[in-house]
Structures are given as C-alpha cells and as structure tokens.
C-alpha cells in the first residue's frame, strides 16, 4: 500500500483494539478458561466470550463467572480478576491481526496522520500486545481501560487520547456501541468495522460509516469529510 498523503482530512485517527485491530476473542477465551478452571468453574465457548467483549476486564470476568452460574460479589471479583489479568499478561500466544491492519496503519502514519489507541483493555496488556505485533511505534498516544478514572463509552476517555496527540480534527474507528457512544460524546465522527464484536446489528450502532475491510479505511476517512 502506498503512502497516504494530506488527502486524509483528519489530523488524528483513534482506534479501538479488540474487534477492530485484533481478533482477540480466541485469546481471551483461552486465558479466561484458565482462570475459570482455577476457580473450579466450567469452560466457556469462544462464541459466548465474543458477546462479553468491550466493557473492560472486570466486566468480562464478572460476566464469565455469571455465565457459569456464579455471581461474583465485588470482594470475590478481586482475586478472579487479578488471576485473569496476570494470566493474560503472561500469555505467549500471539494475537491475530485482522487483514490489512498493519499496512493500512503504516500508510496512514507515513502520510502524516497521528494515530491513537483508546481501548477498555488494561494498558499494561495493551502495550505488551502492541509490542509483540510491532505496532507500538505507530501510535502517538494510548489510553487503556485503567489509564484514566473513566473509560468508553465515556467521551473523556477518547478526548484524552485526541488531546495527547496534539488536538485538531480527529475521527474514531471501532466496532461496537461503546466506540460509537464515546465518539458522539467527544463530538467526533466514527467508522465502525462490521467484523468485530458489536453485540447488536451493526446497522444499529449509529456509526457514520460501516466498513467490511480495514484497507478501505483511508477512502472512508475521506468520505467522512
């Protein structure tokens, strides 16, 4: 893919991670089932976990235990969450990038677009995943689900990333309702990828543009203008 020039009408583009850049449901299912096993709970299927992704690790663990028949109190959640986070951080399986992601991100960055990441996944795990994928140098700012006192769908989570990139015109790229709500709250246009974890019909997300292929993103950003 050739470098993208100033034809992109945004100073910055901020991305979600899970379901947008990486297909992480397989990884989260594997790690989550290790935690469930250590707490004597039955395993979940990947399809079940896909419907739980997007609200951060604490909510994921809480939903996973509930799906196995155990409702966790806030106190009981703490050791289960700690086990999940440590297991995830130590996991050595490489995450799967969606087709066209590295080439498109590099082309945007080479064209002068500032790239940011706004995810509800914990920052420490997010940074490790980006390092392993070789994507870290492309992002000028990153906010995980525990970076700030707020997280998506709160628009301040997204706005913080935009400001960290230097402000200016920006757009959001995600895959579920939290991404769209955060973009609306921050006053940004939003592109939604149709292949992620939307938890509702993608047509109902309320995004400005729906995309099936990540390589179509540069043209979509031009249309947003």
Query: Does the annotation list 204 as a binding residue?
Result: no
- Nearest CA to 104 out of 223, 222, 219 is that of 219
Cα separation of 79 and 214, whole Å?
37
| pLDDT tens track for 148-188 | 999 999 999 999 999 999 999 999 999 999 999 999 999 99
- Nearest CA to 211 out of 21, 6, 3 is that of 21
CB 145 within 8 A of CB 168: no
Query: Does the annotation list 146 as a binding residue?
Result: no
Residues 6+ apart with CB under 8 A from 191: 171, 172, 173, 174, 207, 208, 209, 210, 211, 217, 220, 221, 224
Query: Does the annotation list 16 as a binding residue?
Result: yes
Q: What is the pLDDT of residue 28?
A: 86
Cα separation of 22 and 25, whole Å?
9
Tokens 């677009």, located at residue = 113
Tokens 């989570």, located at residue = 157
List 16, 23, 146, 179, catalytic entry: 16
Q: Is the peptide bond before 153 cis (omega within 30 degrees of 0)?
A: yes
Cα separation of 136 and 47, whole Å?
29
Radius of gyration (C-alpha) of the chain in whole angstroms: 17
Q: What is the pLDDT of residue 45?
A: 94
CA distances from 202 to 21, 95, 180, 189, 207 (A): 17, 24, 11, 16, 9
Q: What is the pLDDT of residue 195?
A: 93
Strand, coil or helix: 138: helix
Quick count: other Cβ atoms within 10 Å of Cβ 43? 14
Which stretches in the chain have pLDDT values below 50? Answer: 1-6
CB 68 within 8 A of CB 49: no
**Is 55 designated active site?**
no
Q: What is the pLDDT of residue 34?
A: 94
Q: What is the pLDDT of residue 197?
A: 87
Q: At what angle do helices 25-38 and 74-90 cross, to 10 degrees?
A: 120
Cα separation of 24 and 111, whole Å?
28
């Amino acid at each position: 893919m050739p470098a993208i020039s100033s034809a992109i009408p945004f100073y910055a583009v901020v991305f979600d991670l899970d379901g947008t850049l990486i297909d992480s449901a397989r990884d989260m299912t594997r790690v989550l089932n290790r935690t469930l096993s250590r707490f004597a709970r039955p395993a979940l299927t990947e399809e079940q976990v896909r419907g739980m992704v997007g609200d951060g690790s604490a909510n994921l663990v809480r939903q996973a235990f509930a799906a196995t028949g155990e409702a966790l109190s806030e106190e009981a959640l703490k050791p289960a969450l700690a086990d999940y986070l440590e297991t995830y951080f130590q996991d050595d399986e490489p995450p799967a990038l969606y087709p066209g992601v590295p080439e498109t991100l590099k082309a945007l960055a080479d064209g002068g677009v500032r790239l940011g990441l706004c995810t509800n996944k914990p920052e420490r795990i997010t940074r490790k995943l980006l390092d392993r994928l070789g994507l870290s140098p492309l992002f000028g700012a990153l906010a995980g689900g525990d970076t700030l006192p707020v997280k998506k769908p709160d628009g301040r989570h997204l706005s913080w990333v935009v400001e960290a990139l230097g402000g200016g015109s920006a757009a959001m790229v995600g895959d579920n309702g939290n991404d769209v709500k955060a973009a609306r709250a921050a006053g940004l246009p939003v592109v939604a990828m149709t292949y992620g974890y939307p938890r509702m019909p993608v047509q109902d997300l309320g995004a400005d543009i729906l995309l099936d292929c990540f390589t179509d993103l540069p043209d979509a950003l031009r249309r947003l203008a």
